[in-house]
Amino acid sequence: MAGVARLCREAGVACRVSMERMMCCGFGACGTCNVAMTDGTYKSCCKDGPVFDAEEVAW
């Protein structure tokens, strides 16, 4: 997925990715399904995703 995101970036093609994480709850209570963002923060896969813009994910 990281490879596809890189190819899209090089070709100037918009790319969205559907992420997967182990989750305890799936409704925003546990904080375990974190996805690292390029700005140094984390987002929850369950509530903020699971689909993210490939550009905002820290591969």
Which residues contact another protein by CB under 8 A?
Answer: 21-25, 27-36, 40-42
**Cβ nearer to another protein, comparing 42 with 56:** 42
When the beta carbons of 6 and 26 are compared against another protein, the nearer one is 26
Q: How far apart are CA 28 and CA 12, in angstroms?
A: 33
We find the least distance from the C-beta atom of residue 23 to another protein, in angstroms, to be 8
Give me the least distance between CB of 26 and another protein, in Å please. 8
User: Which H or E run includes 34?
Assistant: strand 34-36
Residue of 27, 24, 19, 10 lying closest to 57 (CA atoms):
19
